[in-house]
Amino acid sequence: MTQVVLDFEPSVFSALRLGPAEFTHEIKTAAIVQWYAEGRISQSKSTEILGISRVEFLNELCRRKVPACQVTIEELREEISGF
């Protein structure tokens, strides 16, 4: 597994009320959710990277107020018109 090292001032942990392990998990989750919101990765890849179920990922999206559906109205119209 590849490891990435980031340096943070100790005050970051107390400001967020997180220990180093929880902070690491938060950073990773926030990045994955952001990449999903940008359409860069799928729900499937997101759950694989985070090692969680799809339901857990959907709950995380809801908690962070990120839409689970990444399809535009136009894409839906095109898909529906095909039937």
Residue 17 lies inside a defined structural domain of this protein = yes
Per the structure, how many domains does the chain have? 1
Consecutive 10-residue runs of the chain (83 residues): their mean pLDDT? 89 89 94 96 96 97 94 85 76
User: What residue has token string 């997101």?
Assistant: 46
CB 44 within 8 A of CB 36: no
Cα distance between residue 10 and residue 4, in whole Å: 18
5 within domain boundaries: no
Domain membership of residue 2 (yes or no) is no
User: Per the domain annotation, does 65 fall within a domain?
Assistant: yes
Side-chain-side CA neighbours of residue 66 (13 Å):
20
Q: pTM of the full predicted structure?
A: 0.81
Quote the domain boundaries for residue 39.
11-81
